Each structure stands twice: as C-alpha cells, then as structure tokens.
Amino acid sequence: MSPILIRPVREQLEHDRVIRLLQARLRRRFEVAVNLGAEQTAPLRAGRMVLFPDLVLYGSQRGRKLLGLVEVETAESVNNLEAMAQWVHFGRLRLPFSLYVPAGSVDIARRLCADHQMTGVELWGYHAVGGQVRFTLVQRAQAAGAASGRSRAKAPGTGRGRKPASRRPARSGKRSASGRKPARKQKRK
C-alpha cells in the first residue's frame, strides 16, 4: 500500500484522469491493465511482494509478455516515502519503468531517483492546458550497462548507427547565404 493513503479529492481526480489518458494513449501499442484508485485488478509479483503500479503494459501477442510499468504521481505524492515504497521496487524489476509527475515536481522526482540510484527510469512531466493534459519527456531511461560505464548502449530513438552531426566529415564546396550549394555549370561539347 502506498504511504499516501488518502489523496485530496482534487488530486485523486487529476491522478485518475492522467491514468485514463495514458491508458487510451498506450492502448495502441500494448494491452494495458489499470490499477485505478482503490481498484487493484492488475497485481505484479516481485519475490514475496505484491505491487500495484498504475498501469501494467503487456504485449498484444498470445503470451501476454510483461513489457513495462507506468506510475503516475501528483504534487502531494512526489516525496521520499513514495519513492522508497514504490519507485525503488518498480525500478528493480528490470522492466521499462515510466514515471509521470507534474511539471512543477520534475526536479524533485529527478533528485529522488538519483538519491535512490534509480537509473532505469523514464521520467515524464505533465501539465494541464485548458481541458487537455500535455506530456513532456524529461529523461530517457538509461541502459543498465551505460549506467555502470561498462558499455555504451544507445538510448532508444537515437537513430540506427548514424554518426552524430558533429562527427560527420565536413562537406567541401562553397554555399550561398541561403545554405544551398550553387548550381554547377554544365560542360559544353
């Protein structure tokens, strides 16, 4: 059970709203099980412990392979007790773990993750704009090998073996002020 036993009503409504939005968003790629409010329908066993993350992501194929966890926090629940009671355990499961926190609490969440040596956490910030909730990726999850310095694993989505722009050889040829190469003159025969 979470150390935050009872959230204020307004924050619980915000928490549940963000969970439902993420469920609809992630449903395109995963089969999503939800532990919403007091409903604990998708348990996750970790040794002797039974955990209830907000969203549990499964593969849509036959085996229903467990592919990731998502935890949503509100401004009141981004604290050290919550980090020790839930985040640390989710981070140790060797599954992709995404943590969604309000935009104003991103720095606190990042510091708590660093304090508890949680390197495999993908950190997202969210904020409401009118009636919509916007999500912003704040920190990508680091691969376990990259965190310990043993290997250089690429972060997902950084390209397929391409060299960074700064390491590409310089192109020869003058460019105009617009950045385009001048047209070459054709040889006459």
pLDDT above 70 as % of the chain: 72
Q: Is the pLDDT of residue 159 over 50?
A: no
Residues 74-90, mean pLDDT to the nearest whole number: 91
**Contact in structure between 90 and 97 (CB atoms under 8 Å):** yes
Residues with Cβ within 8 Å of 19's Cβ and at least 6 positions away in sequence, in order, are: 34, 36, 54, 55, 72
pTM over 0.95: no
DSSP string, 24-92: HHHTTTSEEEE--TT---S-EEETTEEE--SEEEE-SSTT--EEEEEEE--GGG-SHHHIIIIIHHHHT
- The domain at 9-151 falls in which architecture? Roll (3.10)
Q: Is the pLDDT of residue 123 over 90?
A: yes
**Contact in structure between 56 and 66 (CB atoms under 8 Å):** yes
Q: Is the pLDDT of residue 7 over 80?
A: no
